[in-house]
Amino acid sequence: RKEVEQDPGPFNVPEGATVAFNCTYSNSASQSFFWYRQDCRKEPKLLMSVYSSGNEDGRFTAQLNRASQYISLLIRDSKLSDSATYLCVVGRNNRLAFGKGNQVVVIP
Amino acid sequence: EAQVTQNPRYLITVTGKKLTVTCSQNMNHEYMSWYRQDPGLGLRQIYYSMNVEVTDKGDVPEGYKVSRKEKRNFPLILESPSPNQTSLYFCASSQGFSYEQYFGPGTRLTVT
């Protein structure tokens, strides 16, 4: 089983709609959790860290469910500029594991 | 400007010809790492370094070497490149593995 699993999509989302996706991780001892955004083979950039209490940044909400070992990302009121690949990242013992990413395409 | 730089950005080489990809950061970060990204496989960690003279293997270290003689630099060395090392490589730095990773712009390597 992969350490971090994501459904690659693509997720075709009408502009203005809400999209949500999950990422599951295999190791219950995982310590840190993040969502990164990657545009078309450019370098990934941090979107947000994910905390047990959940966190929100504008239209983006991230949640962590340790019992079921998944993290989620919700994007509200999707913009064309949200089209990108969203990478789930999990840290444990000084190492980082990346999911394959959720590709989001926002359609006018 | 805070940044991570990588050189070269693009490289085409032949099997067996030793090469080095440089990585440098100006943020005084202790943690640095190298990743490769392949279609359908996502980013995979090759090596990481917790600090000067401290390096450790990631998930796919075979065929690669690294060194960390100075805090700011973390070169990736391919002693004898092979075609299966054709990939997009990213260097990253941060305060630690549980902090935001700052990525370089990437190096696209082709080994023929």
Which of A34, A46, A94 is closest, CB to CB, to B50? Answer: A94
Q: Is the pLDDT of residue A91 over 80?
A: yes
User: Which residues make Cβ contacts (< 8 Å) with residue B36, sequence separation at least 6?
Assistant: B43, B44, B46, B60, B85, B87, B88, B89, B90
Separation between Cα atoms, residue A6 and residue B79, nearest integer Å:
34
A41 versus B79: which is more confidently predicted?
A: B79
Separation between Cα atoms, residue A40 and residue A103, nearest integer Å:
10
The mean pLDDT value for A27-55 works out to: 93
Task: Indicate the residue type of A31.
Answer: Q
Q: Name the burial class of residue A53, with classes exposed (0-12), middle (13-18) and buried (19+) by CB atoms within 10 angstroms of its CB.
A: exposed
Beta pairing class for B31-38 and B87-94: antiparallel
Q: Is the pLDDT of residue A1 over 80?
A: no
Separation between Cα atoms, residue A103 and residue A19, nearest integer Å:
11
B97 versus A79: which is more confidently predicted?
A: A79
Do residues A101 and A87 lie in contact, with contact meaning Cβ atoms separated by under 8 Å?
yes
CA–CA min distance B15, chain A (Å): 25
Do residues A102 and A13 lie in contact, with contact meaning Cβ atoms separated by under 8 Å?
no
pLDDT tens column, A7-31: 888 999 999 999 999 999 999 999 9
Token reading at B100: 């935001």
pLDDT (tens place) for every residue of chain B, 112 residues total = 889 999 999 999 999 999 999 999 999 999 999 999 999 898 999 999 999 999 999 999 999 999 999 999 999 999 999 999 999 999 999 999 889 999 999 999 999 9
A95 to B42: CB separation less than 8 angstroms, yes or no: no
Which of B59, B100, B103 is closest, CB to CB, to A43? Answer: B103
Q: Is the pLDDT of residue A50 over 90?
A: yes
